[in-house]
A and B are shown apart, each in its own frame.
Chain A
């Protein structure tokens, strides 16, 4: 009844997104470089810990980690802000009739843009430090994986944000879950290290197929079959998120 139309919602998303982008690094000297500093520092620590101390033998270990850590950061940052998303925007939600999903889309797109900045950096590092360099298959693989991960992340953010408006405990639970998922997702280790009896986790864990696919693409220029599993997860998540959101969206103004 009230939502003017689809294009207006896109305008809402775009102003919210440009606000987020302007705000994130306003006043900092290094600006957007901070979104690279974090994963690079983490990788340096891991390199020392696993390669030098524990003597893990994986070729090109820093790049190996980064190929999954950059996309993981996007996912984790978006989902990490999800619990407070509607609550921290309560003044908007209580006073203006707009599609609240726009808030979730803007957050995810913001983190996605920051992730996209890391892709060329990664390609350069790959070019310098190893004998394989990006091929044209990236032009297919990157957009597909971006879309699949964006859909999966938006839907999870919407569900988490909605549920946390009802049940505030979710904020704490999400942090624990993200940490748990980080270790059961092959980010720090290759798929081949996962024991046979736990391989079902690679399919059941909604984030594993994506991270495996990113790494296959970026390290081996390979379109992994795990992309199909990732698409499945994104569709499933969409099927859950749409009814949850439809039912609760109008109540949000009373809950936040």
Chain B
């Protein structure tokens, strides 16, 4: 029983990490239909902010996290205003190509500035080790991950449901034209949402270093996982991303535990199966 619970928890924690990284992409895709493959670059940016602050300036891990969030968010605003805005009406393909081009540039730039080695960080001792409950071991860092993700999720949901801005977001996702017609400044709403989503990606990236490691190809590797979560969860749906992330996280971890020879296979099969059953994703709209 012990291993089963531990594996489920590990998968859940991994899923929470993936959720943080992907939720921004889901919302922006749902709202503006803008395929932003550069989302992974923002996650990578947040991770490198943390690495620089910790290894270069001696900050503690927790202190760097808000900065990872803010820097990634601000950077995304710059891109959104200049490069992305002209392409909202462009075809899927053009958006894919533009944003992939940006990812390539980001990966190369990072290799240039930081080198190609993997970037280690040393998390504080109170986040290390594990906690034993019964026969199962729960890693302290993963508990921390889950806690952060849950807090973020609650804040997001509360924000969406109970604030005016949240209502505007929901309106813009549901029916953009109508929202504009009602006087909502959709472009501004989108800019803020985009920043928020990218900031969360940056935070997720920073948290991910300890679990999956960081090097210059991070943005490309996790891009694929992000796309899987977003398409499985459904565009524009936070709860969709949440559920999809958990499903993917657990499938991946449990899959590797129970069927090690299936390796990474399982998440692709899951994605294909879900998309064939529901092309718009589990909680998607169209």
Chains A and B belong together in one complex = no
Question: Which A residues fall within an 8 A CB radius of B?
Answer: none
